[in-house]
Amino acid sequence: MNKIDFLVAGVGGQGTILASDILAEVGMKAGYDAKKSDVLGLAVRGGSVLSHVRWGRTVASPVSRKGTIDYLLGFEPLEALRGTEFLHPQSSALVNTQPIPPVSVSSGDAIYPTKERLEQILNAVTAKVYFVEATKEAIRLGSSKVTNVVMLGAFSALLDVAIEVWEKVILSRVPSKYAQLNKAAFLAGRELIQGAQIS
């Protein structure tokens, strides 16, 4: 059983922690020992959120060392860049294209990097970068709040875990009245990765 390390990076309010909870539970359902740890920014909503998730035969620590993450899920492009120090050359990154500019950008004290610059930085440290319009797809389905599940759907296509396991865990974690929306978001994400831009 191979060890797999994940980093989920986003901002408060994006459902990053729920996504990492789901990822950890999927690992356990798939037969792994799984642990996770959340690192929150100063503000719960709008602040940086980094969640470490680790799968393995036996996982001692929930936090990965720099240079050891196998998969990066960037719910926001700039936050994905914050996670690059944890990547290694064979890592893969899945990045949502929708920016959420931090206060420093909104106030004019900083400039948000261009998409080209984001790609350049990510490609300098990791083998595969997938860009997906997860937020746009979530809005098309009816709510930006399922962006996290669209991302998980896209990401699930990169891992060898049965789709039924993902669906069961996701539906157990969301209110029943939103079950169909979340299932649709998950399946849309799986389709989205097929046409994702790989740089």
112-150 CB burial, b ≥16 within 10 A, e <16: bbeeeebbeebeebbeebbbbbbbbbbbebeebbbbbbb
All domains in the chain, ordered by first residue = 4-198 (3.40.920.10)
- Please state the pTM of the whole predicted model: 0.92
User: pLDDT tens, position by position, for the chain (199 residues)?
Assistant: 689 999 999 998 899 999 999 999 999 999 999 999 998 765 455 688 999 999 999 999 999 999 999 999 999 999 999 999 999 999 999 999 999 988 888 788 888 999 899 999 999 998 799 999 999 999 999 999 999 999 999 999 999 999 999 999 999 999 999 999 999 999 999 999 886 656 6
What's residue 45's pLDDT? 59
